[in-house]
Structure 1
Amino acid sequence: MDKQKNGELSRMFSYAGNYHVLTILGCVLSGISTIFSMLPFVCIWLVIRDLIQAFAAGDISRATESTRYAWIAVVFAAASILIYFIALNCTHLAAFRTATNMRKTAIHHIVTLPLGYFSQNASGQLRKIIDDNAGLTEGFLAHQLPDLTGAAVMPVAVIVLIFLFDWRLGICCLIPMGISVIFLKQMMGGDNAQFMGKYMTALETMNKEAVEYIRGIPVVKVFQQTIYSFKNFHAAIEEYEKFASGYALKCRIPLTGFTVTLNGTFVLLIPVVMFILSGISGQAAYENVVLDFLFYSLFTPVCATMMNRIMFASEQLMAAKSAVSRVDEILQEKPLKEPEHPMIPADASVVFSDVSFSYPGAKEKALDHISFVVPAGKTVALVGASGSGKSTAASLIPRFYDVQSGSVTIGGVDVRNIEKRELMKRVAFVFQNTRLFKDTLLNNIKAARPDATREEVMKAANEAQCKDIIDRLPDGLDTLVGTGGTYLSGGENQRIALARAILKDAPIIVLDEATAFADAENEHQIQLAFERLTQNKTVLMIAHRLSTIQDADLILVFKDGQIAERGTHEELLNLNGIYSSMWKDYQTSIAWKVGKEGEQHD
């Protein structure tokens, strides 16, 4: 455990680069500042002693040292504040660099991960892990670490000072400090040591569910499913509440003991002073004991402050270590292995050979020993119920994931032996959930090929049936879309995605439910765009609307991760199997829809 803790601290410093020297300097200065901050208490005691001795002698003019001690106290206090200010400047500069490097390192690593990783990890969760945990680390290094260093230096100075005047009264101050450490260990050790990791997980889950809930509010309101849709978000809130309140309840007794013990020093100090006074004689001895008691009365609050600083800094240390660990979990995710000897495919044919695949953490196979061929220039359609494995199969072609057994080849070359950039050049993927950047329509389409000219972009947009979209936008291709700009419908987004794919001009096209969110008008436009996009291309098409795949060269019917049926549209209808049943259901739904529209026109 200690090695792990040290490793986490080392990781924090490694993110700072050369700026870690400023962190060390800031901690050293913070320790010096702490020592200086304690010396004014000694000076104040010396002032009081000087005044008491002068009053006892009946001549106030004999208090000649009071002014000097007072000025020395002011100098030490001012020096402590100045040094601490310089220390915080050092640690803040290092902390800013550390947080920046943490974010940069995580983001740079994330872009190397396969796309499948992002389907398993929600954007809200990733944002919180990277941004919030970097912020926690920044706060710890900027403020809590120098305070923790000062708190670590203070006990040494405290022990020296409390035994400097009267060892008996010193022990009276030391005993409560020792007992408070036991209570502090109860709060920070044992099962509570693992609390911060669970707490951060609960926070991330709640953040993820909040983002998903807010994004889905339009759908929720349309279908009046508020209570049902709130269920996951509410469960995440309850999970967070369970950890937060559970930790608070666990800590209530130790925290009460910690606070009472620290503030109960006088319970020991006063009786011991009374006992000492009862056993001495003489005015001088009596005065010395009273003066020592005044010193410890002044110094006791410093001990309480020190222990409170240690407690809060320890809590922040737990949070910072957990933050670094969570960012490191992302950095430990491995990118897909690049081939040592890349190969170039001979053509655009796609072959699945005895492929099996399971998602990370899943018990069931998403694909179970499937094999099929998509000849170059042909179209193969995948159909089946949701969760049958269609999209999983399509995602293996551009290596969103790697297969566990079997192989996926393009032009006779295993996709794992094709260099990533080369593979991406050969495959265009149109998702059912199309995302547009907060940018101009021109740059959104050019994302497929950044070096394309404006004329080439316009040509691709026209071939994707986007002319009517561009014509009605205020600035045409230069219109800002997305957050803060113009919003497009789901079908219009799909047509923009098809324009991207046309501009890319890849030999292999993967269409995953490309008409899923299109209305009748947009679906017609998308079908026209398909004709241009798929011309002379190898196409793997996933669709629920069976009308879009009637002319496919081959249709594969998926069920429970296996291929249950295969053949052309006519061949599958003649089998009277799964596809035939799906087609009849589809025709019934079309007839019902047409009938309803006729009633509305009547």
Structure 2
Amino acid sequence: MDGGRKHIMTRLPDTDKVTLMTFAGKYKYLTGTGCILSGISAVIALVPYLCMWKVIKLAVLNWPGGLAGGTLVWGWMAVASSLLSMLIYFGALMCTHLSAFRTARNMKTAALHHLAELPIGYFKGTGSGKLRRIIDDGAGQTETYLAHQLPDLAGALVTPAAVLVLLLVFDWRFGLISLIPMAVGTFFLSRMMGTGMAECMRQYQNALEDMNNEAVEYVRGIPVVKTFQQSIFSFKSFHDSIMRYKNWAVNYTLSLRIPMCCYSVSINGIFAVLIPAGLLLAGDAAGGQDFVTTALDLVFYILFTPVCVTMMDKIMWTSENTMAANDAMERILNVIREKPLPEPAVSRKPENHTIEIKDVSFSYNKDGVNALEHVSLTVPQGAATAMVGASGSGKTTLVSLIPRFFDVDQGSICIGGVDVRDIGTKELMKQVSFVFQDSHLFKDSLLNNIRAAKPEADKEEVMKALKAARCEDIIEKMPQGLDTVVGTKGVYLSGGEMQRIALARAILKDAPIVLLDEATAFADPDNEYLIQQAFEKLVEGKTVIMIAHRLSTVCRAHRIFVMEEGRVAEQGSHDELLKARGLYARMWKDYQTSVEWKVGGKA
């Protein structure tokens, strides 16, 4: 950022007085210059109307003697002032655009750099569609506002003030008459643009964010909809978000209909007051020079009052854009204000790779129910440990605390005798590899996707990792081999193939601790067999914690921890847990029954 992203980040913890101009950095002066130029342009833009009135006045006063000598001068003055106004306005837009582009860039840069510092747990609770809208659409909205709408607002505010001065100077009677409907219109305008509207704008943006987030999730789920021939209403949350937005929009519109109608009638009905008053005043002066003067003054007001009305309409619509831009900025600031997990002053290095979880409790919502309750367990270095249990029992939550996706609320988690909170993020990431159930590949070459684990790795190292992960068949079918870009031009991988690529990535990283979360969840039998072979290579000599629903994958684990409602209900080897005839034994029996079940009869 100009002036540095660092400048904004250091100010945020100390003050809430962050504005769009804070993001503009040294270019904020261009925004001010642009607004001043826009105001000057708006005032000069009134000169042609004055010239037009002068031409009409000269023509009337000299009728029927032809055009007066000064007519041509006033005509050229109108042309010159119009051109000058346009040139100054063009300069204003150049200034505001230069500032707006940099402001939007700085907002995106600040937000994206800060996102990179947040723990992975933050992204678990914040949808990608919501984040995209906050950062991308929000920055775009503020860019449009600063580039176009703010200078227009400056001109719209200056114009009525200049026009009102002219109206009162030319004829105070017509000026006061013109002020009456404008004052009434301003009153109703303030009703619509009051402080309560800022809250309405916040609710509007919330509704849009929810709908956008649900739309992204729906699009991702279209294959499931097609497979099971379900309608859009199968995605109840998406439908509900649309209905919430509709209800909000209808209620908001209904709440504004009375003030909006009153504003429109008063501001557009100015001639209904002005013309009868003008005719009345002209009638009192009928038959003399005063009649002509009064009639010409009426023409002057007929020319200028529509300008004032137009500017007031522009103020109304631009005020709404101002609230939208401020709300967009505030949402981006809320992302930037999310605090990263604290880093230790001096990072310590684990002495070994034994994992100790001591009396850990944790809640996603600090005021809510704990997802984990007083959990204590030890995973010895080099041991393969499994976590099993029903959905929601706390398996994934517990494993996610080891690499500090979140910080524990109570207790501690140690690696090699060192609390993970005393290990720097970079060092901690060197110690741990992850394979999630929903592995993600970037729209990049296979080579770069795997190199993400070790950027300095050469092709030979990458190929060695791919072979260890049993990915030879995947490479063989790729048009350009390792240089094939996945996710484009018809090159897509199945869930099981993506898991094997993720395993190759983990093998290349060669971290001493491996965390596996339902890694065979989306694999077909063939892929599951290959994944199991890759597992054996990945976990050689490593400290391993695996989460699995398929109990056949955990039979050979040194120790199995059975989770239930956020606690460790049982622990032991496979044989020990079966002999105990507890929860694990019941789960194993149910699993065996499901394996032996066949369509159309018993096994």
Q: TM-score range by the shorter chain?
A: over 0.9
Of 396-405 and 191-200, more deviation after overlay is shown by 191-200
- Preserved CA contact (<8 Å) 1:427 1:510: yes
- Preserved CA contact (<8 Å) 2:185 2:262: yes
Q: Which amino acid aligns with 1:350?
A: I
Partner SS state of residue 597, structure 2: helix
The structure 1 residue matched to 2:240, chosen from 203, 222, 235, is 235
Q: Which residue of 2 aligns with 1:165?
A: 170
> How big is the shift at 1:485?
4.9
- Preserved CA contact (<8 Å) 1:351 1:374: yes
> How big is the shift at 1:476?
2.1
Q: Which residue of 2 aligns with 1:23?
A: 31
Matched, 1:414 2:422: no
Q: Which residue of 2 aligns with 1:472?
A: 477
> How big is the shift at 1:473?
2.1
Change (3 A) 1:83 1:527: same
Q: Which amino acid aligns with 1:41?
A: Y
Matched, 1:60 2:90: no
Matched, 1:426 2:431: yes
Q: Which amino acid aligns with 1:59?
A: G
Q: Which residue of 2 aligns with 1:33?
A: 41
- Cα distance in 2 for partners of 1:274, 1:33 equals 34
> How big is the shift at 1:484?
3.5
- Cα distance in 2 for partners of 1:209, 1:291 equals 61
- Preserved CA contact (<8 Å) 2:283 2:291: no
> How big is the shift at 1:165?
1.1
Deviations 1:70-102 (A, max 9, x none): 111111111111111111111111111111111
Deviations 1:35-94 (A, max 9, x none): 001111111111111111101xx4225x22111111111111111111111111111111
Deviations 1:112-136 (A, max 9, x none): 1000011101111100110001111
Deviations 1:339-377 (A, max 9, x none): 012211100000000000001366111111100000101
- Cα distance in 1 for partners of 2:495, 2:54 equals 79
Partner SS state of residue 368, structure 1: strand
- Cα distance in 2 for partners of 1:388, 1:41 equals 76
> How big is the shift at 1:210?
0.8
- Cα distance in 1 for partners of 2:172, 2:394 equals 77
- Preserved CA contact (<8 Å) 1:196 1:322: yes
Change (3 A) 1:521 1:299: same
Matched, 1:113 2:113: no
- Cα distance in 1 for partners of 2:149, 2:342 equals 40
Partner SS state of residue 392, structure 2: coil
Q: Which residue of 1 aligns with 2:202?
A: 197
- Preserved CA contact (<8 Å) 1:8 1:321: no
Gaps of 5+ in 2: 1-11
The structure 1 residue matched to 2:50, chosen from 42, 47, 50, is 42
Q: Which amino acid aligns with 2:26?
A: N
> How big is the shift at 1:192?
2.6
- Cα distance in 1 for partners of 2:367, 2:433 equals 28
Q: Which residue of 2 aligns with 1:445?
A: 450
- Preserved CA contact (<8 Å) 1:144 1:313: yes
Matched, 1:101 2:106: yes
> How big is the shift at 1:474?
2.2
Calculate the aligned-residue CA RMSD, in Å. Answer: 1.8
The structure 1 residue matched to 2:80, chosen from 69, 75, 80, is 75
Q: Which amino acid aligns with 1:539?
A: V
Deviations 1:522-562 (A, max 9, x none): 11111111111111110011000111111111111101111
Partner SS state of residue 117, structure 1: helix
Matched, 1:350 2:350: no
Partner SS state of residue 516, structure 2: strand
- Preserved CA contact (<8 Å) 1:8 1:324: no
- Cα distance in 2 for partners of 1:358, 1:207 equals 27
Q: Which residue of 1 aligns with 2:405?
A: 400
**Percent of pairs with identical residues:** 54
- Preserved CA contact (<8 Å) 1:27 1:145: yes
Deviations 1:143-167 (A, max 9, x none): 1100111112112211210011110
- Cα distance in 2 for partners of 1:586, 1:272 equals 91
Matches within 5 A, 1:448-597: 448-592=453-597
Q: Which residue of 2 aligns with 1:309?
A: 314
How does the TM-score come out when normalised to structure 1?
0.95
Of 338-347 and 271-280, more deviation after overlay is shown by 271-280
Partner SS state of residue 234, structure 2: helix
- Cα distance in 1 for partners of 2:410, 2:235 equals 40
Q: Which amino acid aligns with 2:308?
A: C
> How big is the shift at 1:228?
5.0
- Cα distance in 1 for partners of 2:113, 2:354 equals 33
Partner SS state of residue 18, structure 1: helix
Q: Which amino acid aligns with 1:551?
A: R
The structure 1 residue matched to 2:380, chosen from 375, 378, 387, is 375
Of 267-276 and 43-52, more deviation after overlay is shown by 267-276
Partner SS state of residue 242, structure 2: helix
- Cα distance in 2 for partners of 1:297, 1:406 equals 78
- Preserved CA contact (<8 Å) 1:213 1:229: no
Matched, 1:176 2:185: no
Partner SS state of residue 480, structure 1: coil
Change (3 A) 1:281 1:455: closer
Of 508-517 and 247-256, more deviation after overlay is shown by 247-256
Matches within 5 A, 1:234-313: 234-280=239-285, 283-313=288-318
- Cα distance in 2 for partners of 1:199, 1:410 equals 46
Of 478-487 and 384-393, more deviation after overlay is shown by 478-487
Q: Which residue of 1 aligns with 2:132?
A: 127
- Preserved CA contact (<8 Å) 1:438 1:485: no
How does the TM-score come out when normalised to structure 2?
0.95
Q: Which amino acid aligns with 1:492?
A: E
> How big is the shift at 1:282?
5.7
Pairs aligned (count): 590
Q: Which residue of 1 aligns with 2:4?
A: none
Q: Which residue of 2 aligns with 1:338?
A: 343
- Cα distance in 2 for partners of 1:483, 1:540 equals 34
Change (3 A) 1:130 1:597: farther
- Preserved CA contact (<8 Å) 1:220 1:226: yes
> How big is the shift at 1:183?
1.0
Of 360-369 and 444-453, more deviation after overlay is shown by 360-369
Partner SS state of residue 111, structure 1: helix
Gaps of 5+ in 1: none
Change (3 A) 1:282 1:227: closer
- Preserved CA contact (<8 Å) 1:192 1:247: no
- Cα distance in 1 for partners of 2:171, 2:313 equals 25
Partner SS state of residue 519, structure 2: coil
- Preserved CA contact (<8 Å) 2:431 2:511: yes
Of 416-425 and 253-262, more deviation after overlay is shown by 253-262
Partner SS state of residue 560, structure 2: strand
- Preserved CA contact (<8 Å) 1:381 1:555: yes
Q: List, as ranges, runs of 4+ consecutive aligned residues in structure 1 with deviation greater than 6 Å.
A: 595-599
Change (3 A) 1:10 1:527: closer
